């Protein structure tokens, strides 16, 4: 066997292709030809070098990722507990009105007083339940803020007019302090909950001086990430074959 034929067969063997001659013939030639043995060894070494590469060095990002993890939820329980206490106080106020405690609305009597008492009782109970739910589920705070903010704004204007005309007592005005406290705590709970929802690893969570590789998903523009996918339209001229 000539060396050219043997080396062609060895090259096919390394590539996993059929050899042009029987393998036994090539093996017998290798036992007698030092040049072909050296060629075969070098070819195998080159093959391994091209197919098996060492893993690239990866920087240790443990500290960076740990710094971007939101703070434990336990650190935000103080405000939520305070909101729950205000909610319980608001529910207590509605229960007191329900069982006949004076509402502080002078100058009214009869069925009208009873109906207004029921309205305020229901409203105070609704506020208390809403605040309690926001304390348990902070995501619900954002839905209550517009309603409660509007109520406090209108209530402040009407209460000012009632104070000027003497149509409201100091005790009645003091009961509105729970609503004001609940509104303030709603803002705090919502803000802290939103701040704790940041997703680590996104471009928005990077600190000054940090960067993200251009090939990562964090570097993609927000418009590209949130762009709606277009639905493919079916061909209008398509007909089922007979």
When the pLDDT of each residue in the chain is averaged and rounded to a whole number, the result is 75
Q: What angle do CA 202, 206, 208 make, to 5 degrees?
A: 160
Helix intervals (H) in 99-136: 111-136
Burial 12-22 (b: 16+ CB within 10 A, else e): ebeeeeebeee
Decide if pLDDT at 85 tops 80: yes
Nearest to 77 by CA among 182, 178, 187, 192: 192
Q: Say if CB 36 and CB 6 are below 8 A apart.
A: yes
232-240: long-range contacts (C-beta < 8 A, 24 or more apart)?
none
Alpha-carbon distance of 25 to 214, in angstroms, equals 55
The residue among 70 and 58 whose pLDDT is bigger is 58
- Look at residue 166 in the predicted model and tell me its pLDDT: 81
pLDDT per residue as tens digits for the range 148-193: 899 889 988 988 888 888 877 787 788 788 888 989 999 888 887 7
Helix intervals (H) in 52-167: 62-68, 77-98, 111-136, 141-165
Per-residue pLDDT, averaged over 110-131, amounts to 75
Alpha-carbon distance of 116 to 11, in angstroms, equals 97
**133 CB neighbour count, 10 Å cutoff:** 16
């Amino acid at each position: 066997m000539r060396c050219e034929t043997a080396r062609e067969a060895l090259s096919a063997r390394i590539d996993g292709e059929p050899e042009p001659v029987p393998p036994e013939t090539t093996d017998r030639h290798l036992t007698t030809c030092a040049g072909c043995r050296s060629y075969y060894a070098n070819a195998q070494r080159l093959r391994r070098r091209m197919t098996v590469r060492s893993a690239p060095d990866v920087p240790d990002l443990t500290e960076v990722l740990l710094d971007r993890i939101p703070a434990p939820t336990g650190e935000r329980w103080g405000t939520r507990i305070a909101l729950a206490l205000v909610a319980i106080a608001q529910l207590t106020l509605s229960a007191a009105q329900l069982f006949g405690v004076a509402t502080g609305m002078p100058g009214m009597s009869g069925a009208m007083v009873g109906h207004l008492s029921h309205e305020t009782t229901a409203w105070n109970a609704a506020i208390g339940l809403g605040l309690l739910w926001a304390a348990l589920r902070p995501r619900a705070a954002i839905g209550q803020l517009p309603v409660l903010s509007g109520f406090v704004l209108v209530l402040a204007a009407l209460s000012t007019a009632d104070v000027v005309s003497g149509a409201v007592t100091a005790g009645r005005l003091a009961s509105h302090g729970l609503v004001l406290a609940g509104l303030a705590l709603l803002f705090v709970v919502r803000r802290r909950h939103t701040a704790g929802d940041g997703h680590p690893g996104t471009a928005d969570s990077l600190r000054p001086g940090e960067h993200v590789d251009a090939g990562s998903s964090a570097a993609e523009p927000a418009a590209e990430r949130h762009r709606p996918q277009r639905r493919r339209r079916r061909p209008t001229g398509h007909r089922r074959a007979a």
